[in-house]
Structure 1
Amino acid sequence: MSLLVNNTIWILINVFLNNSLEQILKRSSTCSSNTAHVFPHHIRSSALKKAIGNHFDDISKCFDDKFRVYNDQRIIRRLSLDQIKKLYVSRILPSTSMEFFNMDEWSDPFYFLTFVNPSVRSDIIVSSFQAKYNKNCLSSDLLPKFKLVSPNHLPKEAKIDWVNLRLPEMDCVQDEAEAIAYLPVETSMPRLKQIITAQSDATVRAAVAKNMVQTLNWNQCYSGIRDLVEFFVTRFRNETKGFRQTVVSEMGLLGNLFLKMDWEDWSAIRDFIDLINLNDEVPNCQGGLRSIYSQQIHAC
């Protein structure tokens, strides 16, 4: 656990013990990694929850670039939706909407959302945008301003509108495929299959294959996993090792979707893994394979 995260938890505990906030900040800026490292392993969940509940306003005020509450998932899980929105508006969103629309997926507003339950992300971003800038980010003039990496955090209908607005102006196959992946699977998958079969460049095919797995993940569509993997096995059996490595790495991110599959559906995945074994590519695919096998064990 990083010193930044340890300092964050250390602040919370000291606030909980009613220490002076000014003294906390002063001491935390100079505390050693050895001192900070003691705390995370001994904090009871009930104590952490009580600290946040009783002192959230004070805690949120002291967080700046050095102290970020969302760096520790133990903390973010104990924030209410209202607390998350308050922190998002006061500490996460930039001062202007123009700055917001120029940010990439690893910038604070979007990185923060990865720590939040996917079911409330669109609510957080839409309502917080309105509260911060007094503007509707889903309006016809602002919606197109979202970058290609952003629409996944929008409500379903807004994602569809965004794709329909932006797709005609895209002239890159990879960008088109990524945009289409935001659409519902019943729309995205047939279009992505057409795109990938039309490509002569192996690198482009691998990129589109990644988008095909992503559209299942973004739409939480476990029922489409078997069909997609069978498509890869039958139509792209002789693909490059880069293609298979990309696919298995992205499949490793499907997580709990595997647990919802029928046991018979795993046969397609085993066939794909057999191709990896046949081509001696296991060392290059260890990360994705490890994630897939761990889910298969739980599915047994």
Structure 2
Amino acid sequence: MHLGRRPTKKLLKADADKILEKYRDYSRILADKTFFKRLSLGQFKKLLVASLFPSKMSEFCSGSREVERALKFVKEVHHSNLILSAFKEKYKVDMSSDEVLHELDESWIKYLPVDAKHKWLENKISEATDVTDQASFLSKLPVSNCMPKLKKLIQSQSDPKVRTAIVRCMFDTIKINEDSSGIKDLFAYLVKRFRNEIPQFRDAVRSKMSKFENLYLGVDDWTPIDDFINIIKLNGEASYKNDLRLVFKYQIQNAFSGNADLEVVMKNYLEFEMCESSDLSSDVVSVCQDLPCHKPYLEWLIRETPKMKWTEQNSKLDFSIEIFVSSSKYNKDQEGDLIEIPDWILDCMESALNSENTAKWKKDSILRTIEKYPIPRFQKYISNRFPDSVVELCRLLRQEPDTILQHIQKIVETTLASSHESYRDFFKKCRMYDSFGIASELTNQCHKILVNDPDSTSIYKQSNAVRVMALLLHPEEYCESDFAVCTGRKAY
């Protein structure tokens, strides 16, 4: 059992020094987050020296998960100074000295001064007998230092699996050093020297290149990157689109920022999306949602979608619904800087709502959007629609309990036909409103399901009815209910 936030604060205030010195005795009752976040940097250093650092330096050198766990609650900018100063105080020697460096586990290297870190890495590189280990250590050096060595290393390997391991390290060093200047050169090198590699090699590159994120914003020439993506397309390996979407989104951002020809970039991107598909996926709409270009990107799609050719009208509807949902959410989140939703989208949404051929989940998606972001034209579709969100149900329970009672049957149909976990809070609160007969009526409805519908084909209906009754009834009532106990055994 852990102390709560307030008792932890009081305990620290009463005798912080004793707790820091005897932390291991108190750790079982202290809540980590509350305890560590209450410490000043000076107190944290004292904790490291007095309790968390092992008594023997050799034990420290082999690594400490306990220290790593505690550091998660301290701003990263302070990590290095805390470790180095606490080490000096505890063991009376510099952590970056030669006698210590030789013994240090790799997990401590990130806290060392740059020169000491490079010295440790150079030693490991010279000692390593395995090529992949050499590449891994090399990748932690500056790009200008390690990339020529990694190129030399990969060119000397005959085993494609080893080359694949090394190319991962070539991408790692750019990510570790956050050096966007090496991206263009790396892709140009891969296109020139390794365009005919095994599929696993290209898979490794595709996976790693998706991790560069904002580093792509520093790329001024995307030609080598596009060339490598074209190699992936030519080899029929573009089905894993999500990885490459994480690359294209930054090229699109660059284009909207005026650093590239927008129409050329968008044409190239859409060709990639269509290379193994008959129509655009609705996932395309959300590609730039976390970037500054999100609004102009959506506006571009709104403008260009009517011009696109579609082989399946369902695909066009899915795409249009996603544009409607994303644009509506943007307009709600960014009031005053609105995206104009044109008539063709509104007409498409209304047609979908009125069509018997539209899947229920698509109609629900449109209606949920209209509920959250009202549009006068669509109010007639939601005026008689009973909400199915837990938040809205709880609000009605507080403010309009009679409305809940009037729609008991609808609530039961909605919640028991699928996993009811998300509605748990609502059902628990219903017990407080039994003066309106809500809990009793819900219990009756669940009872009817268990008695009258024992062979329901729904995977959830029977078991959920039992669970809901367990939430609504007092323990004594529930245990005395033979129908609940018997059916409960069957449901579980």
TM-score by length of 2: 0.43
- CA separation of 1:218 and 1:87: change in aligned 2, threshold 3 A: farther
Q: Secondary structure at the match of 1:237?
A: coil
What letter corresponds to residue 161 of structure 1 in structure 2? Answer: K
Alignment correspondent of 1:266: 222
Compute the displacement of 1:142 (Å): 0.9
Compute the displacement of 1:217 (Å): 2.0
Aligned counterparts, 1:183-262, within 5 A: 183-259=141-217, 261-262=218-219
Between Structure 1 and Structure 2, whose CA radius of gyration is higher?
2
Alignment correspondent of 1:276: 232
- CA separation of 1:63 and 1:185: change in aligned 2, threshold 3 A: same
Query: Percent identity, aligned pairs only?
Result: 35
CA distance in 2, matches of 1:193, 1:138: 30
Which consecutive residues of structure 2, in runs of 5 or more, have no partner in the other structure?
Answer: 254-290, 294-492
- CA separation of 1:109 and 1:204: change in aligned 2, threshold 3 A: farther
What letter corresponds to residue 96 of structure 1 in structure 2? Answer: K
Compute the displacement of 1:11 (Å): 3.6
Alignment correspondent of 1:289: 244
CA distance in 1, matches of 2:160, 2:29: 42
Equivalent residue for 2:91, pick from 122, 127, 133: 133
- CA separation of 1:270 and 1:143: change in aligned 2, threshold 3 A: same
CA distance in 1, matches of 2:52, 2:241: 36
Q: Secondary structure at the match of 1:145?
A: coil
Question: Relative to structure 2, which stretch is displaced further, 121-130 or 180-189?
Answer: 121-130
RMSD across aligned C-alpha pairs, in angstroms?
3.9
TM-score by length of 1: 0.65
Compute the displacement of 1:138 (Å): 0.8
Alignment correspondent of 1:30: none
Contact 2:80 2:111 in 1 (8 A): yes
Contact 1:85 1:124 in 2 (8 A): yes
CA distance in 2, matches of 1:199, 1:217: 24
Compute the displacement of 1:204 (Å): 1.1
CA distance in 2, matches of 1:120, 1:164: 26
Contact 1:89 1:132 in 2 (8 A): yes
Number of corresponding residues: 250
Contact 1:144 1:166 in 2 (8 A): no
Is residue 2:56 matched to residue 1:96? yes
- CA separation of 1:80 and 1:232: change in aligned 2, threshold 3 A: farther
What letter corresponds to residue 225 of structure 1 in structure 2? Answer: I
- CA separation of 1:194 and 1:114: change in aligned 2, threshold 3 A: farther
Identify the structure with bigger relative contact order (alpha carbons < 8 Å, sequence gap 6+): 1
Compute the displacement of 1:151 (Å): 2.7
Q: Secondary structure at the match of 2:221?
A: helix
Alignment correspondent of 1:49: none
Contact 1:151 1:182 in 2 (8 A): no
Contact 2:132 2:166 in 1 (8 A): yes
What letter corresponds to residue 281 of structure 1 in structure 2? Answer: E
CA distance in 1, matches of 2:292, 2:223: 13
CA distance in 2, matches of 1:124, 1:81: 8
Which consecutive residues of structure 1, in runs of 5 or more, have no partner in the other structure?
Answer: 1-6, 22-51
Cα displacement string for residues 67-117 of structure 1 (whole angstroms, at most 9, x for unaligned residues): 4439xxxx97x986556645655665444332232238xx34456667766
Alignment correspondent of 1:69: 33
CA distance in 1, matches of 2:210, 2:181: 16
What letter corresponds to residue 87 of structure 2 in structure 1? Answer: F
CA distance in 2, matches of 1:220, 1:185: 9
